Chains A and B, each alone.
Chain A
Amino acid sequence: MIDESVVSGTLSEALKTGGELAEVFVEDRRSSSALLDDGKVEELTSGRTRGAGIRVVVGETTGFAHTSDLSEAGLAKAARAAAAAARGGGGGHQIVALSRVDAPAPNEVEVLPETVAKATKVDLLGRADEAARGAGSAITQVSARYVDGRRRILVANSDGLLAGDDQVRTRFAVSCVAVGDTGMQTGFESVGRPIGFELFDEYEVDALARTAANRALTKLAAQPAPSGSMPVVIGPGGGGVLFHEACGHGLEADLVAKQASVFRNRVGEQVAHPEVTLIDDGTMAREWGAYAIDDEGRPAQRNVLIENGVLTDYMWDLLRARKEGRESSGNGRRQSYQHLPMVRMTNTYLANGTEDPADIIAATDRGVYVAHLGGGQVNTATGDFVFGMSEAYLIENGKIGAPIREGNLIGNGPEVLDGIEALGNDFAMGSPGTCGKDGQGVPVGDGTPTLRVASMTIGGTAA
């Protein structure tokens, strides 16, 4: 992507005014997407960005500059700008010797999307549209989106690190509108993996489209969501986002260090039901949040955060880890070369339990079954969270009953961990997600088995 001697020279330039650590992050990203809406292929879009972000660290201060000019002069200018922000130490001329260490990719990529004809990508959209509309005459609108991206990165720092990664991701999503006597309802389904066009050997877009359509159709018959506190059963793969938001963020070392986490000072303590094990795993083959190296050049890792209910460790990036005199856990990520890295999750999941999911539902007298949670938000300092339920049903007398309309689920992370009373043996990963911490979007995955939480607050309109 860029000559090694240029990278090394840029690092020397960055250290001239006394930086303790300098880093160059180079990124070249290409993307293509195609959108069908309202029965028409509205547009194909191609995108290209490339550039470098340079940071210089002195003490507690980080200077950062980025540029889309990857020439030696352009990089040197950015290096000086980053260094100016972090003035202080002795400085002088340092030669940085780099040694390249690449980490294994989590999985192979068979068919690079850029080698696939545009017409082939567009065909997928038409098939999805047809299948969704065929699911029922109440389906009045369909939109389908195909997106692929290839992100090549190179990271080097003044500790001598040099590493690269070639990250490919392919994603397909369908969203439908159904109209009935009760008004309009929507249904959504998506798949995405860090692989190429072979994604569609595995997933039929027709089936995906029918799932989205059926979600919208089901909701036409939905009743208003109940309101108040009650037991909640979450289906396999449908609720991982809850643990990402409500627990995962509180285990990020940057938030912990700033006292913005309810899990501060709790390593070694029992924070959840003894059957609960929470893992963040960036090495998980073919999962949306996987990569070979993080955006600081550190290989991805499998990190056990909560083991049998006991908090074992937080997640770390380079700077937080350096401060504590330990290694990064491979969780330093950034949206693009225009952003500073910070502690981020990868694929976060609650490990499998032992119970038969049917028994978990049968043992619930009255409550709500959530097949799919939508987006959510958490206050890491208090642990309070809110999630939309995009597909949910009432549970009455131990049976899944009528679908309910959209409503929010609110609760508190530590309380939910404590309140998990049953874990099924049917673990599944959920849909591909984007985590938006501090305004920076990065791809993440999540998963859970079926589980029951003793009590959460459902924010519906029914009494």
Chain B
Amino acid sequence: MNPEELLEIAERIVGWGRDGEQVEAVVGHSQETEVRVYEGEIESLSVAESQGVGIRVIAGGRQGFAHAGTLDPDVLEETLAEARDNAVFGSPDEFFGLAEPDGVDPPELDLYHEALLKVSTEAKIDMALELERAVRAGDPRIVGVESADYGDAVGADAIATTTGIRSTGRDTSCYLTAYSLASEGEETQTGFGFSVGREPSALNVGEAATDAVERATRMLGATQPPTERVTVVLDPFVSAQFLGIIGGTLSGEAVLKGRSLFADRLGDQVAAAGVTLVDDPTNPEAFTASDADGEGLATRRNLLIGGGQLERFLHNSYTGRRSGAASTGSAVRGYASTPGVGCQALSLVPGDRSPDELIAGIDNGVLVQGVSGLHSGVNPVSGDFSTGAEGLRIRNGELAEPVREITIASTLQRMLLDVAAVGSDLTWLPMSSAGVTLVVAEVTMSGA
């Protein structure tokens, strides 16, 4: 279904609103294909179409919500009735209210590539097969490819409200991903590689295969080092995951509810002077770029930390209103939930030295190339973190032997202040934050 058809449905629902009631309808539709190959054969081929609607009702200062995974006319009415009934049981809150048009124009972004729709299923299968072959051929130590996938999605959505919001959007996306197994002697290691784009011609099989091969083979022979305080270099894939967590602490919702460690710190120096952090979903380079947020307001560039100083928190309509600020166009949601607040395309402003130059200046350190259990090991409220890690030792400015079964631990507050350098290698990844090589001084690396 195209966005105009979805908007028509959203407008129909909003038209059923009663006096004294605010109604918001979010309608989404997507078509997805996923191919998984294994040992030269198609393991599975999935084609799917899904749709859904989420309806929010605010009446008498109370909010209710309901969602359904279908757009059948009878279900639409039932869902509105359910949302309306749910509103009766919520607590009144003077700040509840839907977004209202704020005059900001949405950016022009090229997110929908019709070329994707013209690619045959056979061509998609061939790409997955080619990826599997390329990983296998990449290194004699590669003993298996656990999975090689091609996937794509064509999505459309529309938002309408009784407060005058009318927003539509559509986008295309596709990806290739491979999980590899490398073995030498008794030891096995795993790796992965991926490539993402808005149409298949943008995908790079070679790059995805090379990453999958390198990630699996580089850890062969890795050992557990002794516990030590060292300089840690985070590679872009790792730093992006940390940034995502830091971004979460800058949500206006966390601040208002006393769950942000940065709550009273606006204007303070919270990071090293070299740290400038921006959330910018209007950046066409970002895979998560979008012209409208989850409440239908235009997205915008938000400077969060400038030269180490905390500049701004992110807001949706509710948290903005309650903070005496405005929405920053940062409502995030799917149709099955009410809008939260979050980063959409977070990145550090890159520095001017390459990863090699940065490493050359480190006597004793570790280049962290992978982390695991990061989410379970971070407490975004207290800021304490501890994560499993693996990577390469750095000795006298050069990369040395691989290490595994280590953890690195600190607090998010400390880490931001301890950033010694930001690399020049800004890399957009298929997540809501971009990566860049990051040097952090004096971190505890626990091992044997």
Report which A residues bind B (CB closer than 8 A): 34, 37-51, 59-69, 81-82, 85-86, 118-119, 122, 140-141, 143, 177, 179, 183-186, 225, 227-229, 258-260, 262, 338, 340, 374-377, 379, 381-382, 384-388, 405-408, 410-412, 457-461, 463
Known interface pairs A47-B67, A184-B382, A227-B444; A64-B89 also in contact (CB < 8 Å):
no
Q: Which residues of A contact B140 (CB under 8 A)?
A: none
In the complex, A143 Cα to B256 Cα: how many Å?
A: 13
Say yes or no: A50 contacts B377, CB within 8 Å: no
Determine whether B373 belongs to the interface, using a CB cutoff of 8 Å to chain A: yes
Known interface pairs A375-B373, A406-B379, A460-B446; A122-B384 also in contact (CB < 8 Å):
no
Query: Which residue of the partner chain, among A67, A225, A258, A412, contacts B146 with CB atoms under 8 Å?
Result: A258
Top 3 nearest A-B pairs by Cβ distance? Answer: A459-B407, A386-B373, A49-B69
Say yes or no: B66 contacts A177, CB within 8 Å: no
Known interface pairs A183-B382, A387-B376, A459-B446; A61-B41 also in contact (CB < 8 Å):
yes
Say yes or no: A42 contacts B91, CB within 8 Å: yes
Say yes or no: B444 contacts A461, CB within 8 Å: yes
Q: Which residues of B contact A37 (CB under 8 A)?
A: 257
Report which B residues bind A (CB closer than 8 A): 38, 41-52, 63-70, 75, 78-79, 82-83, 85-91, 93, 121, 143-144, 146-147, 179, 181, 188-190, 224, 227, 256-259, 261, 336-338, 372-373, 375-377, 379, 381-388, 404-410, 444, 446-448
In the assembled complex, how far is the CB of residue A50 from the closest CB belonging to chain B, in whole angstroms? 7
Pairs A–B under 8 Å by Cβ, sample size 15: A41-B91, A43-B90, A47-B66, A66-B49, A85-B45, A85-B47, A143-B257, A184-B259, A340-B44, A375-B375, A388-B373, A406-B382, A408-B373, A410-B407, A457-B446
- Chain A minimum-CB-distance residue to B224: A457
Say yes or no: A65 contacts B48, CB within 8 Å: yes
- Chain A minimum-CB-distance residue to B182: A381
In the assembled complex, how far is the CB of residue B284 from the closest CB belonging to chain A, in whole angstroms? 27
Q: Which residues of B contact A50 (CB under 8 A)?
A: 69-70
Query: Which residue of the partner chain, among B41, B89, B179, contacts A119 with CB atoms under 8 Å?
Result: B89
- Chain B minimum-CB-distance residue to A226: B446
Q: Would you call the interface of chain B mostly helix, strand, loop, or mixed? A: strand
Say yes or no: A460 contacts B444, CB within 8 Å: yes
Q: Which residues of A contact B65 (CB under 8 A)?
A: 43-46
Say yes or no: B444 contacts A40, CB within 8 Å: no
Say yes or no: B409 contacts A459, CB within 8 Å: yes
In the complex, A141 Cα to B254 Cα: how many Å?
A: 11
In the assembled complex, how far is the CB of residue A46 from the closest CB belonging to chain B, in whole angstroms? 4
Known interface pairs A118-B86, A386-B376, A387-B373; A405-B45 also in contact (CB < 8 Å):
no
Q: Which residues of B contact A51 (CB under 8 A)?
A: 50, 69-70
In the assembled complex, how far is the CB of residue A168 from the closest CB belonging to chain B, in whole angstroms? 19
In the complex, A463 Cα to B66 Cα: how many Å?
A: 51
Say yes or no: B407 contacts A457, CB within 8 Å: yes
Say yes or no: A60 contacts B43, CB within 8 Å: yes
Q: Which of A34, A45, A50, A185 has the most CB of B within 10 A?
A: A45
Say yes or no: A407 contacts B257, CB within 8 Å: no
Query: Which residue of the partner chain, among B38, B82, B261, B338, contacts A184 with CB atoms under 8 Å?
Result: B261
In the assembled complex, how far is the CB of residue B34 from the closest CB belonging to chain A, in whole angstroms? 9
In the assembled complex, how far is the CB of residue A226 from the closest CB belonging to chain B, in whole angstroms? 9
Known interface pairs A44-B64, A340-B44; A141-B373 also in contact (CB < 8 Å):
no
Q: Which residues of A contact B48 (CB under 8 A)?
A: 64-66, 338
Say yes or no: B258 contacts A463, CB within 8 Å: no
In the assembled complex, how far is the CB of residue B278 from the closest CB belonging to chain A, in whole angstroms? 26
Query: Which residue of the partner chain, among A62, A66, A227, A262, contacts B50 with CB atoms under 8 Å?
Result: A66
Given A376-B373, A381-B189, A410-B406: 6 more A-B contacts, CB < 8 Å: A47-B336, A48-B67, A118-B86, A381-B146, A405-B384, A461-B444
Say yes or no: A38 contacts B388, CB within 8 Å: no
Say yes or no: B42 contacts A229, CB within 8 Å: no
In the assembled complex, how far is the CB of residue B178 from the closest CB belonging to chain A, in whole angstroms? 13
Q: Which residues of A contact B42 (CB under 8 A)?
A: 60-61, 85
Say yes or no: B90 contacts A44, CB within 8 Å: yes
In the complex, A67 Cα to B29 Cα: how many Å?
A: 12
In the complex, A63 Cα to B43 Cα: how many Å?
A: 8
In the complex, A221 Cα to B181 Cα: how many Å?
A: 44
Query: Which residue of the partner chain, among A262, A385, A406, contacts B384 with CB atoms under 8 Å?
Result: A406
In the complex, A414 Cα to B52 Cα: how many Å?
A: 44
Say yes or no: B46 contacts A65, CB within 8 Å: yes
In the complex, A41 Cα to B96 Cα: how many Å?
A: 12
Q: Which of A34, A86, A410 has the most CB of B within 10 A?
A: A410
Say yes or no: A141 contacts B188, CB within 8 Å: no
- Chain B minimum-CB-distance residue to A337: B69
In the assembled complex, how far is the CB of residue B45 from the closest CB belonging to chain A, in whole angstroms? 4
Say yes or no: B190 contacts A260, CB within 8 Å: yes
Q: Which residues of A contact B446 (CB under 8 A)?
A: 227-228, 457-460
Say yes or no: B377 contacts A140, CB within 8 Å: no
In the complex, A405 Cα to B207 Cα: how many Å?
A: 41
Known interface pairs A382-B189, A388-B377, A408-B376; A461-B63 also in contact (CB < 8 Å):
no
Say yes or no: A44 contacts B387, CB within 8 Å: no
In the complex, A89 Cα to B121 Cα: how many Å?
A: 19
In the complex, A386 Cα to B386 Cα: how many Å?
A: 10
In the complex, A262 Cα to B336 Cα: how many Å?
A: 39
- Chain B minimum-CB-distance residue to A258: B146
Q: Which of B79, B259, B261 has the most CB of A within 10 A?
A: B259
In the assembled complex, how far is the CB of residue B11 from the closest CB belonging to chain A, in whole angstroms? 22
In the complex, A62 Cα to B189 Cα: how many Å?
A: 28
- Chain B minimum-CB-distance residue to A228: B227
- Chain A minimum-CB-distance residue to B229: A463
In the complex, A82 Cα to B45 Cα: how many Å?
A: 8
In the assembled complex, how far is the CB of residue A10 from the closest CB belonging to chain B, in whole angstroms? 16
In the assembled complex, how far is the CB of residue A371 from the closest CB belonging to chain B, in whole angstroms? 16
Q: Which residues of B contact A376 (CB under 8 A)?
A: 373, 376
In the complex, A461 Cα to B227 Cα: how many Å?
A: 10
- Chain A minimum-CB-distance residue to B92: A40
Q: Which residues of B contact A66 (CB under 8 A)?
A: 46, 48-50
In the complex, A460 Cα to B447 Cα: how many Å?
A: 10
Say yes or no: B405 contacts A412, CB within 8 Å: yes
- Chain A minimum-CB-distance residue to B258: A141
- Chain B minimum-CB-distance residue to A405: B384
- Chain A minimum-CB-distance residue to B41: A60
Q: Which residues of A contact B444 (CB under 8 A)?
A: 227, 460-461, 463
Q: Which residues of A contact B88 (CB under 8 A)?
A: 118
Q: Which residues of A contact B68 (CB under 8 A)?
A: 47-49
In the complex, A49 Cα to B70 Cα: how many Å?
A: 7
Say yes or no: B51 contacts A68, CB within 8 Å: yes
In the complex, A259 Cα to B66 Cα: how many Å?
A: 44
Q: Which residues of A contact B410 (CB under 8 A)?
A: 461
In the complex, A188 Cα to B82 Cα: how many Å?
A: 30
In the complex, A406 Cα to B386 Cα: how many Å?
A: 8
In the complex, A318 Cα to B386 Cα: how many Å?
A: 39
Q: Which residues of A contact B79 (CB under 8 A)?
A: 46, 48
